[in-house]
């Protein structure tokens, strides 16, 4: 039995960059299952919070804690960026890269990457350079790369922000399947409809702070704060 890296707990975390306050203080605990959606206006701190949780930002105030040692926790989580980072390699080699880091042989890593590409719905010649893919395909490729190590926890930063409706639907279908398979998902989005479709619980952020935290039904039917009410109505937040 492999130990779970969750729960993840943040205790009084504050993020500052060049003296400017970006996030916090934030305290929360993420359980082992479900899909948590971070909602909020531009600049509310959604991306920063995801980056802090994943360890992309160095926190000097507060504490980020895992159920296992940090080294172990980092290997069992993955991050999908808003703009997919496309390596200058073939599609299959982009997806296989994390496996090569783990010491797998190139042949085995490519075979596993091809299998993951197929599961994610990325078809066609995988030996093409990854830059030839469309925006939606690049995001699928990034998702396949994130999933190829079978992470327990997946962070996604507005993964469908730049995609059309069809690509967004495909990404959401993949996320639904992941949820069903037990992958813990934490995702930021601007899209209230997408949040309704995917979320089990919602963290609503404004000006770098979590102003509301609730399960999906409560949040969308009875938002408690004026900021969340305004956001859900499409109004500008005061």
Partner 1 sequence: MNDLWAGLAEALRLVLRLDPDLVEITLRSLQVTLTATAIAALIGLPLGAWLSVNRFRARRMVIALLNALMGLPPVVVGLIVYILLSRAGPFGVLGLLFTPTAMIVAQVIIITPIVASIAHQAIRDLWSEYHDLLISLHTTRAQRIKALLWDSRRALLTAALAGFGRAIGEVGAIMIVGGNIDHATRVLTTAIALETGKGNFALALGLGFVLIALAIAVNLALHMLTRTERSSQW
CB nearer partner 1, residue 75 or residue 190: 75
Residues 98, 181: Cα–Cα separation, whole Å: 21
List the interface residues with partner 1, window 39-68 (CB under 8 A): 54-56
Of the candidate residues 3, 85, 150, 177, the single one contacting partner 1 (CB under 8 A): 85
CB nearer partner 1, residue 25 or residue 55: 55
Are residues 192 and 230 in contact, defined by beta-carbon separation less than 8 angstroms? no
Are residues 77 and 54 in contact, defined by beta-carbon separation less than 8 angstroms? yes
Are residues 82 and 98 in contact, defined by beta-carbon separation less than 8 angstroms? no
CB nearer partner 1, residue 71 or residue 181: 71
φ, ψ for residue 80, nearest 5 deg: -115, 120
Decide: helix, strand or coil at residue 156.
Answer: strand
Q: Does 131 bind partner 1 (CB under 8 A)?
A: yes
Of the candidate residues 18, 88, 123, 166, the single one contacting partner 1 (CB under 8 A): 88
CB nearer partner 1, residue 67 or residue 87: 87
CB nearer partner 1, residue 87 or residue 224: 87
Of the candidate residues 9, 89, 161, 213, the single one contacting partner 1 (CB under 8 A): 89
Q: Does 69 bind partner 1 (CB under 8 A)?
A: no
Least distance from partner 1 to the Cβ atom of residue 238, Å: 33
DSSP single-letter state for residue 193: H
Nearest CA-CA partner of 152 in 6, 30, 1: 6
Count of C-beta atoms within a 10 Å radius of residue 230: 16
Structure tokens at 102: 């783990």
Q: Does 74 bind partner 1 (CB under 8 A)?
A: yes
List the interface residues with partner 1, window 144-203 (CB under 8 A): none
């Amino acid at each position: 039995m492999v130990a779970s890296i969750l729960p993840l707990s943040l205790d009084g975390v504050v993020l500052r960059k060049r003296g400017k306050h970006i996030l916090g203080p934030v305290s929360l605990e993420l359980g082992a299952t479900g899909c948590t959606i971070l909602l909020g206006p531009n600049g509310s701190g959604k991306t920063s919070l995801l980056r802090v949780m994943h360890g992309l930002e160095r926190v000097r105030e507060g504490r980020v804690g895992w159920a296992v040692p940090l080294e172990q926790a980092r290997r069992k989580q993955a991050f999908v960026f808003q703009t997919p980072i496309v390596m200058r390699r073939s599609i299959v080699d982009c997806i296989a890269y994390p496996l090569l880091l783990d010491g797998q042989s190139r042949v085995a890593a490519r075979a596993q990457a091809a299998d993951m590409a197929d599961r994610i719905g990325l078809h066609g010649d995988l030996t093409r350079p990854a830059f030839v893919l469309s925006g939606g395909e690049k995001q699928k490729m990034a998702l396949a790369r994130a999933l190829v190590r079978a992470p327990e926890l997946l962070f996604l930063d507005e993964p469908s922000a730049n995609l059309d409706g069809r690509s967004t639907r495909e990404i959401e279908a993949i996320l639904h399947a992941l949820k069903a398979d037990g992958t813990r998902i934490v995702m930021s989005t601007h899209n209230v409809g997408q949040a309704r479709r995917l979320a089990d619980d919602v963290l609503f952020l404004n000006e770098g702070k979590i102003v509301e935290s609730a399960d999906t039904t409560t949040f969308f039917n009875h938002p408690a704060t004026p900021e969340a009410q305004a956001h859900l109505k499409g109004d500008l937040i005061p």
